[in-house]
Structures are given as C-alpha cells and as structure tokens.
Structure 1
Amino acid sequence: MIAIDNILISDEIVQEQFVCDLNKCKGGCCVDGDAGAPLNIEELQKLNEVYDAVLPYLPEESKTELKLQGKYVNNKEFGWVTPTIESKVCVYGVTDKNGIVKCGIEQAYNDGKIKWKKPISCHLFPIRIQQSKDKQTEYVNYEPREDLCSAACTLGKKLKVPVYVFLKDALVRNYGTEFYETLEATAQHLNTKP
C-alpha cells in the first residue's frame, strides 16, 4: 500500500500493467456492471450543464431512457450513477460502426462542444475509488474485470505500461500533478529496489 496524504493506493497500481484494447473488449466497461457509472455530487451538476450538448450524440433508445429515468439515478448500493438501458449499457454509451461502445459525453468533449470529459469513475477505470466511512481516507484500488479486461492486461504486459502510467491523465485530473509526480517517484523507487 502506498500512502500519499490521506489517499491509500494499492501496490497493484504501480506493479501491474494495463492498456485498453477496445478492438477486443468493445468498450464493455460501458455495458457490463451492476449499475451505471458512479457519479460524485459535483458531477450531477456537470451532467445538467452538458446534457443539451451531449443529447445529439446519443441514439434514440438512450434519449427515451433519459426521459423515463432522468440524467442520473440513485442506486441503493452504489449511490448516484448514470442510468442504464435494461440494466446493461450506460445511456450515454454510443456504439460505433465497429461495434465498440464509446462515451457520448466524451465524443462531445472531443468535438469541443463541452469542457467536461466524462465521469471520473469512467476515466479512471479499472481504478476504483472508495471513501472510508468517516470520509477521511480514500482507497484507490486496481479492479479490472477478469474476463472483460484480460486483453487489456495482456496488451499492458506486452507494451510494459504500468496502470498508473496508462491512467496518468485521469489521475492528474482527479488528484493533481503533484500527487501524480509523487506516485510516479514512489513507483520508480519501488522498481529500483534490489
């Protein structure tokens, strides 16, 4: 376990390798799960702000579900999450011509229509963040899905890309540059130990 201030980071984040292989997994993390993408309170307002710009990117089925369920829902187990269609694909998911599910929010961001990339839980995947009950500590864990992410684990090993390097942008977005530099220095120190 690596501790940076009140954040406890799993050793696997610096020891394991991971690079998404969308041609193999087809964006399954947007489809497979017990609920939609976890959202923090600030992200509810972000969804309200970007909604109209994101809507044109979404298929009709998603638009129908959004009218029925709303932009986000409260799940008893997971808290605020994005709605899903038939408890499967996220309503913000868009399937491209190759059958890969991508994020409609991120597509609007990439096109310069909005300034918010997507929920941080999606950007950080396969890292999952949990808060302690007293909200004083954050636990940052590496939790790839065994079947779904096997191709990403294989590609990461082949390319020798540690999880924290693959997710640099997301980690910097969530915790800042100083945190990332500390994590990187710690990882390099751990990797040079005899």
Structure 2
Amino acid sequence: MIEIDDKIVSADLLRECFACDLSQCRGICCVEGNAGAPLEAEELGELEAEYEHYKPCMTSEGIEAIERQGFAVLDEEGDLTTPLVRDAECAYACREEGITLCAIEKAWREGRTPFRKPVSCHLYPIRLVKFSNGAVGLNYHRWEVCASARTCGRRLGLPVYKSLREPIVRRFGEEFYKALEAAEAYLKSQN
C-alpha cells in the first residue's frame, strides 16, 4: 500500500497490467455480477437529469428496470448501485455489434449528454473504499471475466493505473496521477 495525501493506493495498481479488450470480453463486466455498479450520491442528480438524453440508447429491459426500480438501488451493504435487469445486467447497458456497452457513455460519445458514465464504471477495475477517517482506498479488483484485459495489459506493458489515466484524473485530478507515476518510478528503482 502507498499513501498519497488522503488516499491509500494498492501497489497492484502500479505493478499489475490491465487494458480492456472488448473484442475478447464483449463487455461482460456490464452483464455479470451480483450487484450493480457503485454510485456516488452526487451522480443521482446527473442520472435523472440526463435520462432523456441516454434513454434512447438503452435496451427496453433496462428502461423498464429504471422505471420500476429508480435510477439507483441500495445493495446489501446499503450502498447506492445501478439497478439491474434480471439480477445480472446493468440497467444502463446497451448493445452494439454484439458488445455490451454503457448507454450513458454511448450518448456522451454522440454529444447528447455531458455526463460520461458513473465514475466507478469509468475507473474499473479500480474499486474505491471510503474509510471512516475520510481517506479513500484504491484497490485493484481482480475478476475472472477480465482475464483478457490482464493478458492485453501484459502484452502492452500497461499498468492498471496507466490504462485508467482519464478516469483517475476525472476523479482525483492531474496532480494525483503524477504522484502515481512518481510512486511507480520509485517502486521500479527499489527492484
């Protein structure tokens, strides 16, 4: 673990390799699982306000799930998460050429909404943990459905944090990303 300001970072983010490979996984991370993606409280307003912009990209099942369950649900631990279709697929999913994608991000790419997608989805496979003292932990979540991403990341020599530069900067800022680069350089110098 590495401490950077009020963040506790798993060294795996600097050592392990990862690069999404949609041609192999087909977006299965949006389909598999036992709970929706974590949501931050401030994202609820954006999800609701932008609904009409990304709704046309959603599946009919996803639209029905949102209209029945709402824009977010509480999981077993009481945390906000995205609603699911049939207890599996994210309600915000869409399909394009046999690949499951985020309907919100599709609308964002088409210029229909300024909201890209929930930050937890953008950061994946980094999972955030909030501590009682206000610190935030950044952990590397290993999931079998992402085996192709680990293979692709190793082939490219791309550490987890480097493949996630954009969402890390979105959530924590450029200075934090630069601190991760410095931490990686330090770890390499110690080996």
- TM-score between the two structures when normalised by the length of structure 2: 0.96
The equivalent of 1:188 in structure 2 is 185
Instruction: Give the aligned partner of residue 115 of structure 1.
Output: 114
> Map of 1:119-134 to 2, 5 A cutoff?
119-132=118-131, 134=132
Q: Corresponding residue for 1:165?
A: 162
> Partner residue of 2:71?
71
Cα deviation for residue 189 of structure 1 reads 2.0
Are the structure 2 counterparts of residues 78 and 30 from structure 1 closer, same or farther at C-alpha, using a change threshold of 3 Å? farther
Is residue 35–residue 78 contact of structure 1 (8 Å, CA) maintained in 2? no
- 1:127 touches 1:144 (CA, 8 Å); kept in 2? no
Q: Which residue of 1 aligns with 2:136?
A: 138
User: Which residue of the partner structure matches residue 84 of structure 2?
Assistant: 84
* CA-CA distance at 1:173 after TM superposition: 0.5
Deviation at 1:22, TM superposition (A): 0.8
AA partner of residue 157 (structure 2): K
Deviation of 1:193 after TM superposition, in Å, equals: 2.7
- One-letter amino acid matched to 1:165: K
Give the distance between the partners of 1:152 and 1:57, measured in 2 at CA: 25
Distance 1:191 1:73 in 2: 42
What corresponds to 1:8 in structure 2? 8
Residues 61-111 of structure 1, C-alpha deviation per residue, up to 9 Å, x if partnerless?
Answer: 2112221111111223251111110111101101112x2100000001101
CA drift at 1:135? 4.3
For residues 147-187 of structure 1, the C-alpha deviation after alignment (integer angstroms, 9 at most, x for no partner) is: 21111111110110011100000100010001101111111
User: RMSD across aligned C-alpha pairs, in angstroms?
Assistant: 1.1
Query: Does the alignment pair 1:30 with 2:27?
Result: no
Q: Which residue of 1 aligns with 2:58?
A: 58
- Mapped to 2, the partners of 1:118 and 1:174 lie a distance apart of 12
CA distance in 1, matches of 2:174, 2:69: 37
Query: What SS does structure 2 have at the residue aligned with 1:102?
Result: strand
Conserved? CA contact 1:38–1:78, under 8 Å: no
- Counterpart position of 2:93: 93
Aligned partners of 1:114 and 1:179: how far apart in 2?
A: 27
Counterpart-to-counterpart distance in 2, 1:13 and 1:53? 34
Structure 2 residue matching 1:118: 3-state secondary structure:
coil
In structure 2, stretches of 5+ residues that fail to align are: none
| Paired AA for residue 101 in structure 2 | K
TM-score by length of 1: 0.95
Q: 1:78, 1:20 → 2: CA distance?
A: 29
In the alignment, which residue of structure 1 is the partner of 2:105? 106
